Amino acid sequence: MSFELEVKAVAIRQAAEVYTYYEELRPGLGERFIAALVETYTTLRTIPHFQVRKTPYRYLKLRKFPYRVVFGVSGQRVIIYQVRHTRRKPQQKFGP
Does some domain include residue 79? Answer: yes
Does some domain include residue 44? Answer: yes
- The whole-model pTM stands at 0.88
Does some domain include residue 92? Answer: no
Tell me the three state secondary structure of residue 21: helix
pLDDT of 93 above 80: no
Binned at pLDDT 50, 70 and 90, residue 87 comes out as confident
Does some domain include residue 93? Answer: no
Write the CATH number for 58.
3.30.2310.20
Summarised one tens digit per residue, pLDDT across range 16-66 is 999 999 999 999 999 999 999 999 999 999 999 888 877 889 999 999 999
Does some domain include residue 95? Answer: no
Query: Containing domain of residue 20, as a range?
Result: 4-85
Summarised one tens digit per residue, pLDDT across range 32-44 is 999 999 999 999 9
With beta carbons less than 8 A apart as the criterion, state whether 4 and 77 touch. yes
Q: Rounded to the nearest 10 degrees, how much is the dihedral formed by the CA atoms of 5, 80, 22, 53? A: -130
Q: Which element (helix H / strand E) includes 47? A: none
pLDDT of residue 90: 58
Does some domain include residue 96? Answer: no
Domain count, the chain: 1
